[in-house]
Amino acid sequence: MTSVAIVGAGISGLVAAHRLRRLLGENARIVIVDSAERIGGKLRTVDMGSGPVDVGAEAFIARRPEVPELLAELGLSDELVRPSSTARPLLRTGGALHSLPVGTLMGIPATSESVRSIVDDETCRRIDDERSRPLAWTPGDDAAVGALVSERFGPLVTARSVDPLLGGVYSGLSDTTSVRAALPTLAAALDGGASSLGEAVERARPTPAPGPVFGGLRRGYGVLLEALLASSRADQVHADVADLTRDSGGQWVIPGVGAVDGVLLAVPAPVASGLLVGVDRALGTELGALPLASSAVVALGYDACDLPENSGVLVATGELDSTGVPLRAKAFTLSSRKWPHLAERGGELVRVSFGRFGDSAIVDRPDDVLIDAARRDLQDVLGITDVPTTAFVQRWHGGLPQYRPGHVARIARIDAAAAAISRLELAGAYLHGVGVPACVATASAAALRLAAAL
């Protein structure tokens, strides 16, 4: 009987378990091990009184096929919901609220037109003149997004337009985020000979397509996690795996699980590093060089509260509140405006996010301090003074891997080293994209390779 162990029951591990059951058949022994009390990793759905609410990821890019296809496979297509088409996001910058610039690539403009309302005249001139300044880029190069944008367009574009968007997706800042990993189409345009950043952005921007970009799940991600676990018919083991070895017969040995034919590690990079350093030192070291950013989400529920008709607010770096103290929140999601299925339940729901790579001390403050910071920043940014009837604090230690300059090359080395180890596969958000669709794709490919090797 073929046996496999999957370490990590986040979306990556659960998708792998589901796929392996289909690939290996009913008789295979599939074990999924996790150190946490619940499945899901960075996905978590809680009941805020009015119904289930996601306090980790709350959406996915629905223009990518992976999640809609997975939902269809599991008979869950009815769960797919779309955000409001009329509620637009706002940007808090320079002490005021603005519409989030449109026509940018992750906040990087092609011309000054899209960011005119949020930067000064000198920056606008600099953006427009940029096309006449020679750009030094050798195909295959990488750079920090912030360094590239600040050098070409000036630091205001970075702080006011790029950082708020990257802060949302990577919990990072543009100064530590790789162009090649985070903006592959921009890297391709630069490799392809674009003569300026403006021209590269123009080439790299996605072609506008009708319909919403994002999707969500009516009853939250919990429904998908449970369906994947059920479909995998995996044995669940609750253990903090600290050791991975091979016995004399070539089988993998995991304490608490025993000997298995194949292993799929779907844990964060530092954990994979610890497990593999004794198997392949160089691979363990490469994995250990991938840092994580911590963040926290405070979900606030109101019986009633006067929210604007917007989906949320992103906060630029360096924003001060009305007393001159830096705002603590990096983003507000006005969930009951953004998602019609949440609005239908009555009441209002807001998610306030804190913490960025290198600036995450707030994440470990007590719950009451985080709730108070969320309410004070909400009052400062949106004038909301209502008292929430419910509050939930979720900390995400090591929530998101950082895609720093050189990330793509490092992952290529990791993939090559892992491929040389028989019947071992890696999956997870640190490899080929942090979003849920990318995790689904990476885990599916890893499961396919492992099944082929068994």
Ligand X SMILES: Cc1cc2nc3c(=O)[nH]c(=O)nc-3n(C[C@H](O)[C@H](O)[C@H](O)COP(=O)(O)OP(=O)(O)OC[C@H]3O[C@@H](n4cnc5c(N)ncnc54)[C@H](O)[C@@H]3O)c2cc1C
Q: Which is nearer to ligand X, 213 or 421 (CB)?
A: 213
Site residues (CB under 6 A) for ligand X? Answer: 7-13, 33-36, 41-43, 56-60, 240-241, 266-268, 271, 295, 297, 396, 399-400, 428-429, 434-436, 439
Write the single-letter amino acid at 290: L
| Shortest reach from residue 392's CB to ligand X, in Å | 13
Structure tokens at 371: 């709730």
Q: Which is nearer to ligand X, 107 or 428 (CB)?
A: 428
Residue tagged 């940007």 (tokens): 91
Q: Which is nearer to ligand X, 127 or 400 (CB)?
A: 400
In sequence order, what are the residues at sequence separation of 6 or more whose Cβ sits closer than 8 angstroms to the Cβ of residue 379? 385
Given CA atoms 398, 403, 409, 415 in this order, what sign does their dihedral have?
positive
47-to-13, 50, 53, 191, 279 alpha-carbon distances in Å: 24, 7, 6, 48, 42
Structure tokens at 181: 């990993």
Q: Which is nearer to ligand X, 60 or 302 (CB)?
A: 60
Contact 16, 446 (CB under 8 A): yes
Q: Produce one character per residue of 319-353: b if its CB has 16 or more CB atoms within 10 Å, e if not.
A: bebeeeeebbbbbbbbbbbbbebbbebebbbbbbb
If DSSP codes are grouped into helix, strand and coil, which group holds residue 383?
coil
| Shortest reach from residue 49's CB to ligand X, in Å | 21
| Shortest reach from residue 438's CB to ligand X, in Å | 8
Contact 87, 309 (CB under 8 A): yes
Q: Which is nearer to ligand X, 59 or 190 (CB)?
A: 59
Residue tagged 């990476």 (tokens): 442
Q: Are strands 245-246 and 252-254 parallel, antiparallel or unpaired?
A: antiparallel
| Shortest reach from residue 17's CB to ligand X, in Å | 11
Residue tagged 């209502």 (tokens): 386
| Shortest reach from residue 233's CB to ligand X, in Å | 19
Q: Which is nearer to ligand X, 12 or 150 (CB)?
A: 12
Q: Which is nearer to ligand X, 152 or 330 (CB)?
A: 330
Q: Which is nearer to ligand X, 33 or 349 (CB)?
A: 33
Write the single-letter amino acid at 18: H
Rounded Cα distance between 352 and 374, Å, is 6
